[in-house]
Amino acid sequence: MKEEIFLKKAIELARANIDQGGRPFGAVVVRDGQVIASGVNEIHSTNDPTAHAELTALRAASRALQSPDLRGCAVYASGHPCPMCMAAMRMAGVEQVRYALTNDDGAPFGLSTAAVYEDLSRPFSEQSMDIQHMPVSTEGQPELYEQWNQWRSPQAKKE
Told to judge if 118 belongs to the known catalytic residues of this protein, a careful annotator would answer no
Choosing from 54, 95, 126, 146, the catalytic residue is 54
Q: CB within 8 A of 95, min separation 6: which ones? A: 71, 72, 73, 74
Report the first-to-last Cα separation within the chain, whole angstroms.
40
What is the widest separation between alpha-carbon atoms in the chain? 60
CA 14 to chain centroid:
16
Contact between 36 and 59 under an 8 Å Cβ cutoff? The reply is no
Q: CA-CA distance, 31 to 26, in Å (whole number)?
A: 17
DSSP 8-state code for residue 139 = T
Active site residues: 54
